[in-house]
Structure 1
Amino acid sequence: MTLAACGVDFGTSNSTIGCRRPGQPLLLPLEDGRPTLPSVVFFNADDNTVSFGRAALADYLEGHEGRLMRSLKSLLGSGLMDGYTEVNGRALRFRELLEQFLRELKRRGEHATGSRFEHAVFGRPVHFVDDDEAADRLAEDTLREIGHAAGFRDIHFQYEPIAAAFAYEAGITREELVLVADIGGGTSDFSLVRLGPGRSGPDRREDILATAGVHVGGTDFDKYLSLSSAMPMLGYRSVMANGNEVPSSYYFNLATWHTINLAYTRKVWTELQDVRRDAREPDKIERLLRLVSQRDGHWLAMKMEEGKIALSQADESLLPLERLSPDTALRLQRPVFEQAVGELVDSVAGAVAALLQRSGIARDKVDTLYFTGGSSGVPLLRARIRALLPAARAVEGDLFGSIGAGLALDAGRRFS
């Protein structure tokens, strides 16, 4: 195998790997000919195998016994990173889990090209951790260590919105001042960048006018859609005989991808028996118990993601929830969703406003607002960002591939 440099977009929801090849697409086919590999691992207890991506989701939904892990990137910068989880009766370090996924991503990329990837540019959010520089550096260092363990010898990092800017730049013919809005699964990241066909050198520091990021992304929107619309069906905010609300921790864990498995412990099961006995609406707690006993928390989280996507296209959507009961369906309404995520949108819009103020650039001088990231289609969020730059032309990039393509271009320049 020949040596080659690659760009690695290890995403909260989806991952890509790419490299420059004459006359070939930058992004490599990773699963069923597609350039994205969902960041999912399933440990199948029935036959003691491990599957990744769409195959992992299919194995889980088919009802195989085992452990599904998703939103792996969210572990970086969290207190869970140095911990363990139980997988099919053994303790698995979360670092080892991320290493397994990155090693598989690398293997698939190398298989697609016949090259060996030792040099890589990894994407990273502007902030792994908000308002904590030491924790942010630790998260990057941790990802570098895991990348080395997965087989990448030389790793550089690039901000994800800068990588998306490089992908956009490859298709323009004149100089532009561009605000890149990258709304991913775990973070929202922004960069104000001067781009143009004559600015494609390896050192672009002078072209980067400002960056900003906030730890809010698509999985947060899924979470609050779940809490506002689905979890009340399971007893969220219902009350006990003593007038107190049912503890909210059960519902927050079930609504958050990387904590769903915490709802499946024996301790929680015992506590929920007591909750059902004392609940004023025991039928809702019974529904919760059924969901937990069947380990359908991940299925419900996927349904919430499906509902969020539907509300990006329509004001209402009827979401079947057949695993709760055959005739159960949830009517989702965009106004309810927008009210639930209002504070999240405020946080993201505030980060953009602060970036623009910090840059010292007049807002009417920004030529283009470039949207990328799978969650940039949320209408309220997009409208709030566009309102900050009413004179800019709005452009939508490849929502799932712009960052990976830009990282591949950056890798080609750095290691050429």
Structure 2
Amino acid sequence: MPNAVSGLDFGTTNSTIGLVRQGVPTLLPVEGEDVTIPSALFFSLEDGRTYFGRSAVAEYVDGSEGRFMRALKSVLGSSLMSETTQVGRMRLTFQDLIGRFLGHLREKYSEAMGEAPDAVVLGRPVHFVDGDETADRTAQDQLEEAARQQGFRHIEFQFEPVAAALYFERQVTSEQLALVVDIGGGTSDFSVVRLSPEAARATNRLSDILASTGVHVGGTDFDRMLSIARVMPLLGMGSETADRKRTMPNWYFNEMATWHRINTLYTPKIKRDIFELKREAAEPEKLARFEHVLEHRSGHRLAGAVEAAKIALSDRDEAVIRLKEGGFALHAPAPRAAFEAAVGELVERIAGAIDEALAQAAVAAEAIETVILTGGGAQTPIVRAAATARFPSAQIVQSDAFGSVGLGLTIDAARRFA
């Protein structure tokens, strides 16, 4: 049997690692006293170090020379996993990069507990890749191999929404039917689960999971759509050539608006392309902004400004996307109404997946007694409304947005490896 066990939630935007101590699920500190860490890495070309989490973000925002990586979970199962990327003098695979991050979490466990975990239950979305079972299985295999390369010898997986249900179940006093809504950074997952005090003590819960569905829609997709709607037009998207015969190719702007694709634009060829487009443009000043973002590798700083505005819109009717640095200033108003219009299709996909979960479980909406909301995206008003509208009589529970999945995974790990 393994000497030490853990539950590890490798998220698109945030990650955790924990264990059960004296019967209590606990998340371990992974960055200072924080039990959550942004899923980000920065490879410094100045001191040769690799920075993780908030430290990685700080190095990048401060303008240190190096390579910034975020939202790596979104790459699993995609064609990017077979490619390598330049990091200083090294060429690393994306599996190597994911492994380094998992290894960092394992080290943090070791620092806190005095021993590194042999066994882990990793969280996974219901679908890494929509509509492609082969790619979905490949994504899980890639994550498993990345963990194995870092020293985990016993590896199991649990659906992230099921893990959130396991954590909430500790407080239920009678049997009930629950819908778990987990809106993460890269995926949205939904599970219909039968909960009860008696079932909470069982190790095998397959019979209590009535349905699990998911879509590849998450917080970074909401960032992307807001960026395309409010920022990319200021960088040239949709603008015309001076002869009015063509518009600028959309794909440059779509890539710049997508967290895990931004680094692919930092090549000499792309810089030449944008330079030539600027010469042909009816509004060259817009392409000059795009050129600046490329030249100064400001894409993730820009994406961070978009994300900050999105988060602000959870409490306000209007926000502003701001980025100011040497020779560059961007100020883009972002009304909530414009944001909700931009993400309408994403919300419809989330609503459709909820309907699919109910259909799979063969239960009516009225039978759901509790809706458990988790994940940062569940705090977005339009998403929360879509997730709860079908259940006017249900108890709505806002679980720990960034910790409930990790805590549930620790409970699952303690049962599996006991």
Same fold (TM over 0.5): yes
CA contact (8 A) 1:38 1:53 kept: yes
Corresponding residue to 1:401 among 400, 403, 407: 403
Deviations 1:245-290 (A, max 9, x none): 1111111111111110122110011111111111001111111111
Contact 1:231–1:251, Cα closer than 8 Å, also in 2: yes
Provide the TM-score with structure 2 as the length reference.
0.97
Instruction: Name the counterpart of 2:166.
Output: 166
Q: Identity of paired residues, percent? A: 47
Contact 2:289–2:328 (8 Å) recurs in 1 = no
Cα distance change, pair 43–218 in 1 and its aligned pair in 2 (3 A): same
Q: Write out aligned runs for 1:293-332 (5 A).
A: 293-323=295-325, 328-332=330-334
| 2:230 alignment partner in structure 1 | 229
| 1:68 maps to 2:60 | no
1:220 equivalent in alignment to 2:240 = no
The whole-number CA distance in structure 2 between the counterparts of 1:296 and 1:126 is: 33
Task: Give 1:133's aligned residue.
Answer: 133
Please list the CA deviations of residues 95-141 of structure 1 after superposition, one character each: whole Å capped at 9, or x if unmatched: 11111111111111121122320011110000111111111111111
Q: 1:251 & 1:324 partners in 2: Cα distance? A: 22
Could you tell me which residue of structure 2 aligns to residue 341 of structure 1? 343
Equivalents in 1 of 2:321, 2:220: separation in Å? 18
Contact 2:8 2:409 in 1 (8 A): yes
Describe the SS at the equivalent of 1:80.
helix
What are the Cα deviations for residues 171-207 of structure 1, in whole angstroms up to 9, with x where unaligned? 2222221100000000000000011211121000111
Runs of 4+ deviating beyond 3 Å: 324-328
Q: RMSD over aligned Cα, in angstroms?
A: 1.4
Contact 1:223 1:255 in 2 (8 A): yes
Is it true that 1:8 corresponds to 2:29 in the alignment?
no
Deviation at 1:39, TM superposition (A): 0.7
Aligned partners of 1:325, 1:343: CA distance in 2, in Å? 36
Look up the match of 1:120: 120
Please list the CA deviations of residues 305-352 of structure 1 after superposition, one character each: whole Å capped at 9, or x if unmatched.
Answer: 101101111110133321386764221101111111111111111011
Paired AA for residue 6 in structure 2: C
Kept after mapping to 2: 8 A contact 1:234/1:287: yes
The Cα of 1:390 is off from its aligned counterpart by 2.1
Alignment partner of 1:164: what SS? helix
Moved more, 365-374 or 323-332: 323-332
Q: Quick one: distance in 2 between partners of 1:90 and 1:357? A: 49
Report the counterpart of residue 208 of structure 2 in structure 1.
Answer: 207
Matched residue, 2:287: 285
Taking the aligned partners of 1:319 and 1:141, their CA distance within structure 2 comes to 38
> Aligned equivalents of 1:43 and 1:274: distance in 2?
31
Map of 2:373 onto structure 1: 371
Instruction: In structure 2, give the amino acid aligned to 1:277.
Output: R
Q: What residue in structure 2 maps to residue 89 of structure 1?
A: 89
Offset of residue 23 of structure 1: 7.2
Confirm or deny: 8 A CA contact 2:292 2:328 kept in the other structure. no
Do 2:312 and 2:319's aligned partners in 1 also have CA atoms closer than 8 Å?
A: yes
Match of 1:276 among 275, 278, 282: 278
Name the CA shift for 1:315/1:274 in 2 (closer, same or farther; >3 Å). same
Q: SS of the counterpart of 1:131?
A: coil
2:213 alignment partner, SS class = strand
DSSP-derived class of the 2:325 partner: coil
The one-letter code sitting in structure 1 at the alignment partner of 2:280 is: D
Corresponding letter in the other structure for 1:208: I
Structure 1 unaligned blocks of 5 or more: none
Instruction: Look up the match of 2:177.
Output: 177
How do 1:351-362 and structure 2 match up within 5 A? 351-362=353-364
Range with bigger deviation, 275-284 or 243-252? 243-252
- So what's the TM-score if we normalise by structure 1? 0.97
- Runs of at least 5 residues in structure 2 that lack an aligned partner in the other structure: none
- SS of residue paired to 2:174: coil
The separation in 1 between residues aligned to 2:170 and 2:232, in whole angstroms, is 45
1:264 pairs with one of 248, 263, 266: 266
- Structure 1 residue aligned with 2:240: 239
CA distance in 1, matches of 2:94, 2:240: 36
For these two proteins, the number of residue pairs brought into alignment is: 415
